[in-house]
Amino acid sequence: MSPMPLTFPDFDETELGRLRRCLESRWVTQGPLTREFEELVAKRHGLSHALATTSCTAALHLAVLALELGPGDEVVVPAFTWVTSAHCAEYVGARAVFADVDPTTHNLAPEAFEAAITPRTRAVVAVHLFGLAAEMDAILAIAQRRSLAVIEDAACAIGSSYQGRPVGGLGDVGCFSFHPRKIITTGEGGMVTTDREDLAERVRSLRNHGASPPGPAQGPPGKPYTMAAFDRLGFNLRMSDIQAAVGVAQMSKLDRLLTHRRACAALYGHHLSSLEEFDLPPQPEEAPGHTYQSYVIRLRTGNRAERNRIMEHLSDQGIETRPGTHAVHRLGYYVQKYQLKSEQFPNAVRSEDATITLPLFPGMREADQERVVTALRDSLTTRSG
């Protein structure tokens, strides 16, 4: 039986045509296609500003820089997420302070967020994990009450919404990913989104070496000898027009891809509902804003060895799976720096130990999903035997 991948990008002549036009134009970086891609993302999420970057990691780094976080500051981060949700605070000399997640959604638990706040807290990273928006009303209320900035890590959440409102503009700044495992991709790439003009101006400068419009010392505007001013330390974190060409093509497919993923999620829910050993993601009718960037189930026993045995069984059947993501506080850097213990964040530990990401890819058929479900059932029978 042929191998079944976890996911893969949806590429066709649409991307090739855009790439061809980009290369023929000979304008391949920070040009018209980058602007078009930014405008499409901004419009889709109802935002004033979308600024393309080299990755979501870069977007998160730029977000904390634009918010002027630094040494002595603390940033609350969910303990179950990809590492750069926490790393972005550490990049600027701030401290990532972990808070546990909700055991059902895997997203930041608002009560744990509030309990993690100290006099040094200046921001929170609200992660919309696997395409499901965090509990933003509660998180925003706490942040407003405590005068904290809200960074939305929307790496998994292109097209996601919370109570009918697109993510990425609910807090102060949003960060998106276009990695190949995401619903749309530019190979690598990211985006910073915001409705705040001050943050947009800083990100625009910081991603481009710290450049800003020329002042009197650089010469009058429009002259061939006039150069940009550099009044802040910046980086080269710009997306190329080659990547943006792919992004523009991918955005034209977003609605179709989201519709298909939600249909697959509904079918998985139907087929898996009889397997009492697993907790499932919410069904599309229960969470209409969920985009199912990943379809992640959890073994109810929480037993890591049993979860691993099930994943090995699926691998033997040619079916690729992955754990959900990391309990970041268990990773070496954070354990060594802050002497963190696994038991401090039990829900994050359970989520790491017991989750399985199932295949969900463009063009997935019902027969493909039935093959996955059959393999899961067989893995449970094998255990019983």
Q: Domain residue spans in the chain?
A: 13-251, 254-384
Judge whether 182 counts as a catalytic residue: yes
Query: Rounded to two decimals, what is the model's pTM?
Result: 0.96
Pair 10, 16: CB distance under 8 Å? no
Q: What is the pLDDT confidence band of residue 385, given thresholds at 50, 70 and 90? A: very low
Mean pLDDT for the chain overall: 96
- At residue 190, φ and ψ (nearest 5 deg) are -155, 180
Cα–Cα dist 250/256, whole Å: 10
Element (H, E) at 158: none
Section 168-194 average pLDDT: 98
pLDDT for 181 beyond 60? yes
Domain at 13-251, CATH class: alpha beta
Domain at 254-384, CATH class: alpha beta
Section 188-211 average pLDDT: 97
Pair 18, 241: CB distance under 8 Å? no
Section 130-156 average pLDDT: 98
Section 361-372 average pLDDT: 98
State the catalytic residue, choosing from 43, 182, 337, 341: 182
Beta bridge partners of 379: none
Residue 226 CA: distances (Å) to CA of 204, 213, 222, 235, 236: 19, 10, 7, 21, 21
Q: What is the pLDDT confidence band of residue 216, given thresholds at 50, 70 and 90? A: low
